[in-house]
Amino acid sequence: MSVYIPLATKYRPQKFADVIGQDIAVRIITHGMQKNRLGAALLFSGTHGVGKTTVARILAKAFRCEEYDRSDPEPCCRCASCLGFASDNQTDVVETDAASNTSVDDVREIIESCQYRPISGRYRVFIIDEVHMLSKSAFNALLKTLEEPPPHVKFLLATTETHKIPETILSRVLRFDLKRVDLGLVAQYLSSICNQEHISAGAETLSLIASAGDGSIRDSLSILDQAINMSANSELTIQNVRDMLGVSDDADIIDLLRLILNGSLKDSIAQYRRILESNISAPMVVRRLMDCVYILTCSKANVEPQESMISENALQKLEKLSQIVSLPALSLVWQMLLKGIEELKLCDHPEVVLEMILARISYASELPDLHEIIAAFSGTSEKSSSKKLANEKPSNSLFDEAKEMFPNATVY
C-alpha cells in the first residue's frame, strides 16, 4: 500500500529553480553566492506560507552541498549531504523554532555549539524560525555572535514580524522580504501539479483555490489536497470546491451588492438569507462583497485590479453595475463593510449583525449626497436624480421633497 504524502510535502521545492514567485530574492541569493558576498547571517521575512523556511532550507543545502560550485550555486541534490536533507538526517544543520525556544538559555546552547566545526562539509547552518519571538536577553546574546561569527557558521533567520526584531540585529543581517505569491502564478502552479497528479480541474476552479490560499503556495496545496480527497473521481468541479470552501457563487454576491446599492433593504436581506442557506459564513459574505466593491472601484478608475478573485462571467456582470454607481458611493460602502468586519467579531450572532449592517448601508443610500445638498441650497438644481447609491431608478432627493413641502422656508 502506498503511503499518502501531502502535496505540499511531495512537491516541496528542492532547488532555487523550483521556488515559485520569489524570483528577485532567489536572484539576489544566487548572485550573492556566485560572488561569495552573502555574509554569515540572512533574514527572510514575509507573511505566513510565502516560502521563508523553504528558501532557507535550500540555501542551507547549497551551503553544505559536497558538489558546490560557485558558478552554479544550486544544490546538486545527489551528494550525501543533499540526500541527508531529503531524509532529515543532517547533524550540521540545526533548525530551531524561536516560538517555543525564546529564552537566553536556548540561544546560549546555539552559540556554544557554534564553536564546533562541522562534522563534514564547509559550514554549520543554524535556521531560526519565528526569530522575532526571542526574548530581549536572547537577542543580546545572539548579537555578540552575529558581530563576530566563526567563519564556518551561517545563520538563516525567518520571521513574519520584522518590526519586532531589534535594530542592532537587523543591521547585521542581509534582509530578504518575500512577497505574497501572485494569485495567477499560484493557479498556474496548481495546474501543473494537477497535470502531474492526473487530476482534471478547470482554470476557474484553480483560481478559486489560489484565492482561498491567499498567496501562500503551502495553503493552496493543502486546499487542493482537500478538494481531491472530497471529489468522487479525479475531476474537481467548481461547485464542489465552492461548497468545500463555503464560497458562494459570484453572481449571487453581485446581485446582493446591486440590491444594497439600490437601497432595497427587504430584497437585500432576502438575497443575503438565500446565500446563507448554502453554508456561507457572514464574514465570508462581507469579504466577497468587498472584493466586488474593489473591482468596481478599479473599473471606475480605469485601472487593472491588483488581483481578481472573480470569474470571467461575474466580471461582465460587475461591468454593468459599474455604469450606474458612483465612486463616492463605492467608497462609502467600502468603509461601512470594513467597519462591519470588526462588528461581526464582537457578536455571537454574526449572521444577524450582518443584517443590521445591510440595513445601515441601505439607510445611507437614502441620504442625499453632498453635491445634492449644495445644489439644493444654492438652487442650481431643480430636480436631483440621486436618491439611491446606484442611480438605477432616478428619484427625487429628500431635499427636493422637503422643498416641495415647505416652499417658503428659509435655510440659515
Distance of CA 24 to the CA centre of its chain: 19
- State in Å, rounded, how far the first CA of the chain is from the last one: 85
Min CB(152)–Zn ion separation in Å: 18
Closest to Zn ion by CB, 29 vs 280, is 29
Closest to Zn ion by CB, 67 vs 319, is 67
# residues near Zn ion by CB under 5 A:
6
Min CB(177)–Zn ion separation in Å: 28
Min CB(73)–Zn ion separation in Å: 11
Q: Residue 104, interface with Zn ion (CB under 5 A)?
A: no
Vertex 178 angle, CA 176 and 180, to 5°: 165
Closest to Zn ion by CB, 44 vs 68, is 68
Closest to Zn ion by CB, 79 vs 104, is 79
Which among 79-87, 117-125, 307-315, 328-336 is the span making contact with Zn ion, rule CB under 5 A? 79-87
Q: Using the rule CB under 5 A, which residue among 12, 15, 39, 79 binds Zn ion? A: 79
Report 45-74 residues binding Zn ion (CB under 5 A). 65, 67
Is the distance from CB of 63 to CB of 81 less than 8 angstroms?
Answer: no
Min CB(26)–Zn ion separation in Å: 18
3 state SS of 97: strand
Min CB(63)–Zn ion separation in Å: 10
Which of these, 305, 306, 384, 295, lies nearest to 333 by C-alpha position? 295
Q: How far is CA 354 from CA 226, 285, 345, 349, 365, in A?
A: 29, 9, 11, 9, 17
Query: What H or E segment, with its residue span, contains residue 222?
Result: helix 217-230
Q: Residue 15, interface with Zn ion (CB under 5 A)?
A: no
Report 185-224 residues binding Zn ion (CB under 5 A). none
| Number of other residues whose CB lies within 10 A of the CB of residue 248 | 20
Min CB(64)–Zn ion separation in Å: 8
Write out the DSSP string of 264-289: -HHHHHHHHHHHHHTT--HHHHHHHH
Closest to Zn ion by CB, 92 vs 129, is 92
Q: Using the rule CB under 5 A, which residue among 76, 143, 324, 341 binds Zn ion? A: 76
Residue 224: what residue type? L
Is the distance from CB of 285 to CB of 253 less than 8 angstroms?
Answer: yes
Strands (E), 150-241: 153-159, 174-177, 200-201, 235-236
Phi-psi region of 285 (alpha: psi -120 to 50; beta: other; left: phi over 0): alpha
Is the distance from CB of 288 to CB of 247 less than 8 angstroms?
Answer: yes
Is the distance from CB of 135 to CB of 144 less than 8 angstroms?
Answer: no
Closest to Zn ion by CB, 8 vs 82, is 82
Is the distance from CB of 286 to CB of 340 less than 8 angstroms?
Answer: yes
Min CB(125)–Zn ion separation in Å: 14
Closest to Zn ion by CB, 60 vs 390, is 60
Min CB(85)–Zn ion separation in Å: 9
Min CB(101)–Zn ion separation in Å: 29
Closest to Zn ion by CB, 67 vs 161, is 67
Closest to Zn ion by CB, 82 vs 244, is 82
Q: Residue 82, interface with Zn ion (CB under 5 A)?
A: yes
Residues in touch with Zn ion (CB under 5 A): 65, 67, 75-76, 79, 82
